[in-house]
Homo-oligomer: A and B are copies of this chain.
Amino acid sequence: MIDVKLLCKRAKAASLKMAILEPGVKTKALRSMAKALINKSSYIITENAKDVKNAIKKNFSKALIDRLTLDEKRIIAMADSLVEISKLKDPVGQVLETRSRPNALLIKKVRVPIGVILVIYESRPNVTSDCVGLSLKSGNCIILRGGSEAINSNTAIFEILNREALNNKLPDGAITMIKDTDRKIVNALLSQEGLIDLVMPRGGESLIREVSRNSRIPVIKHYKGVCHTYVDKAADLKMAEKICFNAKVQRPGVCNAMETMLVDKKIAKKFLPRMIERFKDANVEIRGCSETIKIVSGIKRANEKDWYAEYLDLILSIKVVNNIDEAIAHIMKYGSYHSDAIVTGDKKAAEKFLNEVDSACVYVNASTRFTDGGQFGKGAEIGISTDKIHARGPVGVEELTSYKYVVYGKGQIRK
């Protein structure tokens, strides 16, 4: 087994140098990395094809293969993210608050990097470059631990990025990739309290639960994305149809896709037949509540488990609710506090929903698919959090910082 402690110590030592890097050095490195990804895209695609071939051989789900696959377009998107990140304001050293006290002490709350961040992830190889970009910009060192199913893609991307890091004189240890896919290594990493400062697991619920259970280091995470769209009685039904279709069908294998659609009883008969027809045309399997199957025939009945389910596939559960309170109660009971939307023309209903649904991201009249670092203007995300501590929703460069209090005195003592 590789020497995990040694790698972590190297990262910790590098983190002190990373914290005081000139902003211009980071910008330049990020842009070189973006260029290198484009220049080497055919190499990345060749390596990725090996992973995809293995995944098909192993009979992995469609959603997983979708998340795993890279093409020219997705590589351009990875490079674009790095460029976007390079353009963001450098968070390190930002003064968040200044307080002048009656005794003339001057107290500044100043952003500082967190230190060393460990990302444990599955399938999506674009995570590799997004995490490198965000950690570099925020002055953190990163340790990457991708899944075995994407090892060829991740290694290719890491090597391209790391070469640019070294060319741009980032400290040795700024980016570390654990290429050994032995699962024991994960537990060894999770016990490096004092060397690693934060763990971000990304992937299936079982991976994330295992990481949370075994970690001695703080973890920021979401277990799953059971996202809802509630079509209110005051909704513009054409808009609702467009939003719900997008939230379910545009990319069903991701955490911000809709899993349950809630429909107000008062518009259900008008809305559901056409909406369901459109879903069926797109090969979406519908599982409906007792009301739904009364309104539209030939639908499978949803059971209790369906309301908790994150399908990550072309499956949708539908429930007719009596009113907005029932919709909110359903979301609070069965949801995962990730992303939930209301479609309504009624401002009061919108405000009620936005206030009372205690999710990381709450929407009015938009698709839940927008919960994404790039879409939020953060360039990318190192993960999405449904926790309430430290960061919530898409985690970008600002959320990858901590702060320190810097206190300027003139000889003040405590009375």
Residues of A within 8 A of B (CB): 16, 19-20, 99, 101, 105, 107, 112, 114-115, 197-198, 218, 220, 236, 239, 242-243, 245-247, 250-251, 354-356, 358-367, 369-371, 375-377, 387-390, 392-393, 402-414
Q: Closest residue of chain B to A213, judged by CB? A: B216
> A358-B112, A406-B362 are known contacts. Are A105 and B392 too (CB-CB below 8 A)?
no
Bound-state CA distance A236–B409 (Å) is 13
In the complex, the chain B residue whose C-beta lies closest to that of A218 is: B389
Task: Point out the residues of chain B lying under 8 angstroms from A393, CB to CB.
Answer: 404-405
Q: Please, how many angstroms separate the alpha-carbon atoms of A245 and B247 in the complex?
A: 64
Give Cα A387–Cα B114 distance, bound, in whole angstroms: 10
Contacts of A410 in B (CB 8 A): 365-366
State the main secondary structure of chain A at its contact with B. Answer: mixed
State the 5 A-B residue pairs at the shortest beta-carbon distance, nearest first.
A366-B409, A246-B413, A369-B414, A388-B402, A390-B390
Asked whether, in the complex, the Cβ of A405 is within 8 Å of the Cβ of B360, the reply is yes
In whole angstroms, how far apart are the Cα atoms of A411 and B360 in the complex? Answer: 20
| 12 new A-B contacts at CB < 8 Å, known A242-B413, A354-B406 | A16-B358, A99-B377, A218-B389, A361-B407, A362-B407, A364-B408, A366-B409, A366-B413, A370-B412, A389-B389, A392-B402, A393-B404
Task: Tell me the complex Cα distance, A377–B412, Å.
Answer: 16
- Judging by beta carbons under 8 Å apart, are A101 and B362 in contact? no
Whose C-beta in chain B lies nearest to the C-beta of A219? Answer: B218
B99 and A370 form a contact (CB under 8 A): no
Report the bound CA distance from A375 to B218 in whole Å.
29
The answer to whether A105 and B366 touch across the interface, beta carbons within 8 angstroms, is yes
Which chain B residue shows the least CB distance to A245? Answer: B413
List, in ascending order, chain B residues with CB within 8 A of A247's CB.
Answer: 413
Contact status of A411 and B243, CB under 8 A, knowing A404-B393, A405-B361? yes
Task: Tell whether, in the assembled complex, residue B412 and residue A362 are in contact, meaning their CB atoms are under 8 Å apart.
Answer: no
Q: What's the Cα separation between A107 and B404 when bound, in Å?
A: 28
Smallest CB separation, A280 vs chain B (Å): 19
Q: How far is the CA of A198 from the CA of B377 in the complex (A)?
A: 29
Q: Which residues of B contact A359 (CB under 8 A)?
A: 404
